[in-house]
Amino acid sequence: MILLVLGIALWVAAHLFKRAAPDARARLGGAGKGALAVVLLVALVLMILGYRQAPFIGVWTPPAFLVHVNNLLMVAAVFVYGMSATTGRLRGKLRHPQLTAVKIWAVAHLLVNGDLASILLFGAMLAWAVAEVIVINRSEAWVRPEPGPARKDVLLVVITIAMYAIITAIHAWLGVWPFAG
């Protein structure tokens, strides 16, 4: 679990660095972005390795029907994440679509994973996303972008379906069948 905790700590620290120490981040310039990207990549690798190596310590047993709730929430998470790149009518409906998607993703995974490593990983990511939204809202004003054409939202739905299929295929490839229940 040490790798998992270290990965989570690096992830949170790297993401909050820009807002916690904006002057230090600005002094790093473009090289700082590259360095932070490397730290985030290391954090991600540590979280994946730590999660996969963690012993299974059951905390609770999720009921089987929550698999279906998880899958619906995951479709929503992929859609909301995609809203950050849309130029359609939905553009600007959410201030933090990526962080909102992380929160939906974390809750969905907490519903179907009752082991300690999962609760640690997904709970920490949920807490980080909530904290990040609070920090951003307190430090930056937001100008809501103008909505674009509705056809871009239709494209977002198509992309969401394709991305969800890819994500489920990757889960299956890794040995986790997301439709069991």
Number of independent structural domains in the chain: 2
Q: Check whether residue 64 and residue 49 sit in a common domain.
A: no
- Is there a single domain that holds both residue 44 and residue 61? no
What is the average pLDDT value for the chain, to the nearest integer? 93
In order of 5, 19, 31, 94, the CA distances from 138 in angstroms are 27, 10, 27, 16
Average pLDDT over residues 78-86: 93
The answer on 20 and 75 residing in a single domain is no
**Does residue 131 sit in the same domain as residue 158?**
yes
Give the mean pLDDT of 4-28.
90
**Same domain membership, residue 117 and residue 33:** no
Asked whether the predicted pLDDT for residue 116 surpasses 60, the reply is: yes
pTM of the predicted model, to two decimals?
Answer: 0.91
Q: Which domain holds residue 180?
A: 57-181
Does 29 share its domain with 67? no
Query: Are residues 150 and 97 located together in one domain of the fold?
Result: yes
Q: How many CB atoms sit inside 10 A of residue 147's CB? A: 16
Predicted confidence band of residue 171 (pLDDT cuts 50, 70, 90):
confident
SS3 letters across 64-121: CCHHHHHHHHHHHHHHHHHCCCCCCCCCCCCCCHHHHHHHHHHHHHHHHCCEHHHHHH
